[in-house]
Amino acid sequence: MVLSTMAAALRKVALVGGFGKLGSHILTALHADATLDVTVITRHTSSATFPPNTKVVKVSDGYPTSEMVSAFRDQHAVVLCLGFAGDKYHDSLVESSIKAGVKHLVASAYGGSESKEAIELFPIAARKGRMVEELRTRETPGWSWTAITCGLFFDLYAPPSALSSFINEIQLYLQRLFRLRPSCPQSHDLGFGQCGILRHERGYNRRSVAKVLAKPEATANRRVYISSFETSLNKILEAYKKATGVADWDVNHVKWDVEVASGKEMMKTGNMWGMGKLALAVEVKEGFGADFEKAGLLDNELLGIKRGDVEATVARVLKEKL
């Protein structure tokens, strides 16, 4: 196999946020690639812990440029995986990577659609959109970026919550998060079957980072789109029925517009369930750009990332979380 010049050169990788909900998965995937020399960068004040033999560099809160330039120096690639509390430092970390002579940066994107509609409705889509715009302005010879675009992490949000231990609680959680409905004649309802898209396991995201580093030229200076599967709320319900053997579920029928209005109201009072409603709303509504497969955008093949299926994933989630 002929490796591209840049891919062959991206051996030394620094990961910022390697203990996070996604970052810990990315770290596992990077460690699994014996060709990579991985360093995790964490804050002195962090309570993060890492697997034995992980190379760790500690830095000050706020990622001061002088410290980051020296932490990134000699690294070929930087992978950013900052949570909401940390992503205000994204631009300065990008700048530090350029100053340090890093060749390629994987942005802390990992979000959903960039459509105008999604950006207008969902604040996180707007943040990610701005992040990508900023990356475009920074493009410079010898330095490139990739933003992995993936939609909701199915296995993170799939019920039950980590604390649930009874099937009844799963029903409650489903009711709150997905407001499932089994059939839907009206396309403006939230749970409509044909266009409702929820997908992407964190496992896919972690693999995609390692795959991007193996193909930096093909993924340079653009979003890459990955997906485990496209599914609908109705198919998810069917998968839960099959995996649990419970046929009778408590299903709420809700309207998309009403859910969106209530999500916005909740956000005004700082209730983060509102954010969840808006996240789901942009995923399931046709015309919001969430179906990357239908739009012909998927990069799974390019990256060699196999697709999964909703039934197997629901069965796994239930096994792992219960």
Ligand X SMILES: NC(=O)c1ccc[n+]([C@@H]2O[C@H](COP(=O)([O-])OP(=O)(O)OC[C@H]3O[C@@H](n4cnc5c(N)ncnc54)[C@H](OP(=O)(O)O)[C@@H]3O)[C@@H](O)[C@H]2O)c1
Residue 10 or 198 with smaller CB distance to ligand X: 198
Residue 15 or 184 with smaller CB distance to ligand X: 15
- Identify the helix (H) or strand (E) that includes residue 38: strand 37-43
**CA distances in angstroms from 51 to 19, 31, 107, 228, listed in the order given:** 10, 10, 23, 27
* C-alpha closest to that of 219 among 112, 308, 304, 99: 304
State the SS3 of 279-299: HHHHHHCCCCCCCCCCCCCEC
Residue 110 or 192 with smaller CB distance to ligand X: 110
d(CA 15, CA 38): 7
Minimum Å gap between C-beta 311 and ligand X is: 20
Question: What's the full length of the chain, in residues?
Answer: 322
Residue 48 or 267 with smaller CB distance to ligand X: 48
Measured at CB, which residue is nearest to ligand X?
83
Minimum Å gap between C-beta 3 and ligand X is: 28
Minimum Å gap between C-beta 79 and ligand X is: 11
Residue 47 or 140 with smaller CB distance to ligand X: 47
DSSP string, 236-293: HHHHHHHHH----------BHHHHHHHHHHHHHTT-THHHHHHHHHHHHSTTSS--TT
Residue 20 or 160 with smaller CB distance to ligand X: 20
Minimum Å gap between C-beta 52 and ligand X is: 17
Residue 50 or 249 with smaller CB distance to ligand X: 50
d(CA 206, CA 251): 33
Q: What value does the CA radius of gyration of the chain take, rounded to a whole number of Å?
A: 20
Contact residues: ligand X, CB under 6 A = 17, 19-23, 42-43, 46, 48, 81-83, 85-86, 108, 110-111, 150, 152-153, 156
Minimum Å gap between C-beta 14 and ligand X is: 12
Minimum Å gap between C-beta 211 and ligand X is: 17
Minimum Å gap between C-beta 19 and ligand X is: 4
* Cβ within 8 Å of residue 41, ≥6 positions away: 14, 15, 16, 18, 56, 57, 58, 59, 68, 71
